Amino acid sequence: MNSINTKIACPKCRSTVAGAVNGNTLETPLACEACGQTFLPHFYCPEVNSSARHIFAASRLYVDNMGAIYTFCPDHTFTTYALAADSKPRPQRSPFQSIARFFDSMVFRLSLTIEGLRLRLASRR
């Protein structure tokens, strides 16, 4: 059977914990390689945008065929894919985003410098 890699963030140090899954279950509790903490990921039940949502720690994790992690709420019969914010991995920046941010900040600083020079010239008249 093919191994599927899943990613969950450590709630303490926010580093990404990757778990290899064989079948459709993931061993819990998860252990962070960076800080050594063991943890259970938190999920929203029934979904993130629901007004009656609650957060619970998942004692068992399952992985579907696409590699998405899900679990069952212990209080209800809902299946949920909605990881809570402390368990979501941080998106990694692409090189294009870093370059775009650099040029954006450079243009902003340049426009502030030009505006300062324009105000100095206007106040001398």
At 31-84, the pLDDT tens digits run 888 888 888 888 888 777 777 788 888 888 888 877 788 888 888 778 888 887
CA angle 104, 106, 108 (to 5 degrees): 70
Beta bridge partners of 71: 80
| pLDDT surpasses 80 at 111 | yes
Report strand pairing: 69-72 vs 79-80.
antiparallel
Q: Is the peptide bond before 29 cis (omega within 30 degrees of 0)?
A: yes
With bands split at pLDDT 50, 70 and 90, how would you rate the model's confidence at 113?
A: very high
Q: Are 41 and 8 in contact (CB under 8 A)?
A: yes
Q: Return the higher-pLDDT residue of 8 and 103.
A: 103
The rounded percent of the chain whose pLDDT value lies above 70 is 86
